Chains A and B, each alone.
Chain A
Amino acid sequence: MTEFAEIWSYLSETPLLWLAATLGAYVMGDTLSRASGRKPYVNPVLIAVVILAAILWASDTPYATYFEGAQFVHFMLGPATVALAAPLYANLSHVRRAALPLIAALLAGSVTAILSALGIAWALGVRGETLLSLAPKSATAPVALGISEQIGGSPTLTAVLVILTGIIGAIVVTPMMNLMRIRDWRARGFAVGVAAHGIGTARAFQVNETAGAFAGIGMGLNAILTAILAPLVAGWLSAL
Chain B
Amino acid sequence: MILHLTLLLTFQLAGEITARALSLPVPGPVIGLAALVLAFLASPRLARAMQPAANGLLAHLSLLFVPAGVGVVGHLGLLGAQGGQLLLALIGSTVLAIAVGAGVFMAVLRLTGDEE
List chain A positions with a Cβ less than 8 A from chain B: 22-23, 25-26, 44-46, 48-49, 52-53, 56-57, 63, 66-67, 70-71, 73-74, 76-90, 92, 98, 100-102, 104-106, 108-110, 112-113, 116-118, 120-121, 124-126, 130, 134, 137-138, 140-143, 145-147, 150-151, 154-165, 168-169, 172-173, 176-177, 180, 182, 184, 186-188, 190-192, 194-196, 198-199, 202, 218, 220, 223-224, 227-228, 231-232
19 CB contacts below 8 A, A to B, read A48-B63, A56-B73, A63-B71, A74-B67, A79-B9, A81-B12, A81-B30, A83-B53, A86-B58, A98-B109, A109-B100, A124-B88, A126-B82, A126-B86, A150-B27, A168-B95, A177-B98, A224-B26, A224-B34
- Are B36 and A82 in contact, with the CB atoms below 8 A? yes
Instruction: Pick the contact of A77: B26, B41, B65, B79 (CB < 8 A).
Output: B65
With A82-B11, A184-B109 as known contacts, state yes or no: A22 contacts B66, CB within 8 Å: yes
With A73-B67, A156-B68 as known contacts, state yes or no: A187 contacts B106, CB within 8 Å: yes
- Are B57 and A199 in contact, with the CB atoms below 8 A? no
Instruction: Pick the contact of A184: B11, B33, B97, B116 (CB < 8 A).
Output: B116
Instruction: Pick the contact of A194: B74, B91, B101, B112 (CB < 8 A).
Output: B101
Residues of B close to A180: CB separation below 8 A: 99, 102-103
| In the complex, number of A-B residue pairs with CB atoms less than 8 Å apart | 327
Closest-by-CB residue of A relative to B82 is A126
- Are B105 and A227 in contact, with the CB atoms below 8 A? no
Closest 10 CB pairs of A and B: A156-B71, A109-B101, A146-B27, A86-B54, A191-B101, A159-B68, A70-B67, A231-B25, A85-B36, A81-B29
Q: Is the interface of A mostly helix, strand, loop or mixed?
A: helix
A114 to B33 CA separation, bound complex (whole angstroms): 22
Q: Mark B78-116, 1 if CB is under 8 A from A, else 0.
A: 110010011111111111111111111111110010111
- Are B8 and A137 in contact, with the CB atoms below 8 A? no
Closest-by-CB residue of B relative to A235 is B25
- Are B86 and A130 in contact, with the CB atoms below 8 A? yes
Instruction: Pick the contact of A113: B11, B30, B93, B115 (CB < 8 A).
Output: B93
Residues of A close to B101: CB separation below 8 A: 105-106, 108-109, 112, 187, 190-191, 194-195, 218
A78 to B11 CA separation, bound complex (whole angstroms): 10
Closest-by-CB residue of A relative to B37 is A85
A237 to B11 CA separation, bound complex (whole angstroms): 32
Instruction: Pick the contact of A80: B57, B82, B107 (CB < 8 A).
Output: B57
Residues of A close to B37: CB separation below 8 A: 85, 88-89, 92
Closest-by-CB residue of A relative to B39 is A85
- Are A142 and B29 in contact, with the CB atoms below 8 A? yes
- Are A86 and B26 in contact, with the CB atoms below 8 A? no
A81 to B64 CA separation, bound complex (whole angstroms): 11
Within 8 A of A (CB), among B1-55: 5, 8-9, 11-12, 15, 25-30, 32-34, 36-37, 40-41, 47, 50-51, 53-55
